[in-house]
Structure formats: C-alpha cells, structure tokens
Amino acid sequence: MQRANRLKTIMTAVRSPAGVRVSDLVAATGASAMTIRRDLGELERQGVLRRVHGGAVSLPARGARPPFALRLESQVGLKQAIARAAAELVPDGSSIIVDAGTTAAAVAGALAGRDVTALVLSVPAAAAAGERPGARIITPGGPLDGDDLTWFGHRAVQDVLDFRADLAILGVCAWDEHSGLTSTSTQDAETKRAMLASARRTIAVATPDKLNTSATFTVSPSGSVDALITGALPAETRAWITAAGVDVVEAGEAGAPV
C-alpha cells in the first residue's frame, strides 16, 4: 500500500472509540510493525493522534478532553515519576494548592503523610493525599464536575483566592509556545488563574503530550509558571519553555532513562 493511502487508513482506523492496535494496522495495510510505529510517530507529531501502549487513539476536539477514566489509565508510570519529583520540591510545613487532573492527583498521592496544608481541588486528589495521616487536607465549596469529581464555579474560585499558598501544583490541559497555557473549559481556566494569583510559586506538572498543543480557553502566558516537571522533551520544546523563564525538570520512570 502506498504511504499516502496507508496514512489515510491509519487516520480512519484510529477514530474507533477504542483506538487501534499496531497489529490491526499491520493486517489492514500489509506494512511492517516498524513502519506502522514510524507512521504513528509522525501522525502524533502532527497532532492527529496520540500513541498508547500497543497502538494509538484519536485526539479529542480542541474544546474537549478524554474521559477521566481513560486519562487515569494513561502513562501511569510517568505520572508517578513526575509526582515524586514534584513532591521533592514541596517543603515540609508549607501550604499548597493541588489542581485537578490525574497528574496532579498523583502528586497528591506522593504527598500523603507529609506535613503540609493542602487545598485540593478534586475528590481523587483529596483521597490520594489522605491515604496516610499527616497532611491537613482542605477542599473548596461549590458543585462537582460529574466526570472527574472536580470542584468548580464561583465558590471554588473564591476559596482558592482566599487560600494564600506557598506553592501551587498546576495541572496542564494544553501548553504551546504562542498561546501559553490554555484549557478545555472556562471553569478550569478560571480556577487555574486563581491558583496562579494565590500562590507565591507555581509548579506545572504535565506529561509531554500536553505540550505543543492548545485548547480553547486562555489560562496564562508561559512565564507565569516558575517550573515544569514533565517527561523527556525534544530539544526545541525545552528551548521555548526555558526561554520563557520556566525551569524544566525531566522526570524518568523507574528503570527508564531520563
């Protein structure tokens, strides 16, 4: 099969709700597994799809995001490595705000049992932080989002603004060189802006697939973040982030190169 037709076949197959496996694409195109993986890498760089273990899934529309359960199962080892690196930067006795999202929830879990006062913005993060006694856990008011059990709305934003934090652990929906940090919802963007306003220092935590992408609603310029903890980055991505004044920490999974 010609390359153009092969890429078209991949883009059609990946729209399946469950995504597509490399083995299925090998059978559909007659190409080798190595060729399919190379094609998937190219299409991922173009923002067409996202690679997962054994295959690929389609990216959501710009104003949407994958369901929480799907995000929770994605890149678990890397998120845990990011969480450990973030926890090392949190001093004992500090007050922190922990954002919603699966990577931020992993940070909350890494802080379980620590001497911190934490305002946590989702039920999963609160549960993770409370796995062991030690941390003082506070939650905001307001309604809960039905998917990821995140507090949102005016009450939650005001509670964030009233909490004067030493450090904010900021989740990332999307972040690129030209748009800065963006989000898939107005509520989340507003909450993130409140976190930035309330904390003396902000550490963003994100897997590399959140970078060089943009969502619908503006959060802040890149320079509003003090540090980013992520996985291994291409040199050009690291360059524009550090040029904005952001310190970059590349965390590696246990046993994996950084």
Please report the pLDDT score of residue 66 as a whole number: 59
Mean of pLDDT values over 154-170 = 97
> What pLDDT, in 10s, does the model give residues 114-143?
999 999 999 999 999 999 999 999 999 999
Question: Does domain 70-250 fall into CATH 3.40.50.1360?
Answer: yes
Q: Which of 1-10, 93-102, 233-242 has the lowest mean pLDDT?
A: 1-10
Residue 135 three-state SS: strand
Confidence of residue 215 (pLDDT cuts 50, 70, 90): confident
Is 7 or 156 the better-scoring residue by pLDDT?
A: 156
Q: Residue 25 has what pLDDT?
A: 94
3-state secondary structure the chain: CCHHHHHHHHHHHCCCCCCEEHHHHHHHHCCCHHHHHHHHHHHHHCCCEEEECCEEEECCCCCCCCCHHHHHCCCHHHHHHHHHHHHHCCCCCCEEEECCCHHHHHHHHHCCCCCCEEEECEHHHHHHHCCCECEEEECCCCCECCCCCEECCHHHHHHHHHCCEEEEEEECCEEECCCEEEECCHHHHHHHHHHHHHEEEEEEECCHHHECCCCCEEEECHHHCCEEEECCCCHHHHHHHHHCCCEEEECCCCCCCC
Per-residue pLDDT, averaged over 29-34, amounts to 93
Query: What pLDDT was estimated at residue 108?
Result: 96
pLDDT at 134: 92
Q: What percent of the chain has pLDDT over 90?
A: 69
Closest Cα to residue 135, out of 157, 152, 120, 117? 117
Name the band, by pLDDT with cuts 50, 70 and 90, for residue 181. very high
Q: Which residue has the tokens 């559909």?
A: 28
The alpha carbon of residue 218 and the mean position of all alpha carbons in its chain are separated, in whole angstroms, by: 16
pLDDT at 167 over 70: yes
pLDDT in tens, 66-80: 565 656 667 788 999
Is pLDDT of 171 > 80? Answer: yes
Tell me the CATH number for domain 3-59. Answer: 1.10.10.10
Mean local confidence (pLDDT), 55-61 = 76
Average pLDDT, whole number, for the chain?
A: 89
Q: Is the pLDDT of residue 227 over 70?
A: yes
pLDDT score at 49: 82
Pair 14, 20: CB distance under 8 Å: yes
Percent of the chain residues topping a pLDDT of 70: 91
Q: How confident is the model at residue 14 (pLDDT cuts 50, 70, 90)?
A: confident
Instruction: Reply yes or no on whether the pLDDT at 194 is more than 70.
Output: yes
Question: Tens of pLDDT along 34-54?
Answer: 999 999 988 887 667 888 888
Please report, for the chain, the start and end positions of each structural domain, with discontinuous segments joined by +. 3-59, 70-250
